[in-house]
Amino acid sequence: MIRSPFLVDVSDMLGRDVPARSVVIDVVVDWALQMSKIMVEPPLVADLAVAPIPGGILVRGEVCYAVEHACRRCLTDFIDDGCSPVAGLFEIDPGEDAYPIDGTTIDLEPFLRDETLLGLPLLPLCEESCEGVVTTAGIDLNTESSDDSDDTGSPFAVLRDLLPPED
């Protein structure tokens, strides 16, 4: 049986006053949002401190990764590196804001996936100056000019006749 790199044995910590332990997870993941995907190379690296607290385990640290985004304006793929601080609580009887302790083991995968994906932009942008694409098929405003100033194809062009003429 293959053991998950996300599983951490905390039997030596439960109900005890012991110092925090360092845990480093270096793993390839298949996590994605609609416009962003954590890349295989380099693998995701989580540098964590696992510490006992009354009633559970506190995990804090930083997760670093490379992510491939699709720009929301021009739809061009681009790669970005990211590091995010993370913190999570694990309890034997978890409430809404905690993850479960299964016997003497905690599974860091749901926690790290949630924290990592929540840190990604929902609508990534390749550059602030990105002009995007236009309604004319295949025209990228970042590299070409547009002829979209002609509103004849717009269903709202008839409304222009209702406005007073410009001087």
pLDDT, tens digit (0-9, with 9 covering 90-100), for 131-164 = 887 656 555 656 666 555 555 566 777 777 777 7
Q: What is the dihedral of CA 159, 160, 165, 167, to 10 degrees?
A: 150
The structure's pTM equals 0.76
Q: Distance between CA atoms of 120 and 137, rounded to whole angstroms?
A: 29
Characterize the bridge pairing of strands 77-91 and 99-102: parallel
DSSP string spanning 153-165? GSTTGGGGGGSPP
Tokens 């996590």 -> residue:
31
Output the six-digit token pair for 80: 């970005």
Share of the chain above pLDDT 90, in %: 63
For the stretch 6-48, pLDDT in tens is 999 999 998 888 999 999 999 999 999 999 999 999 999 999 9
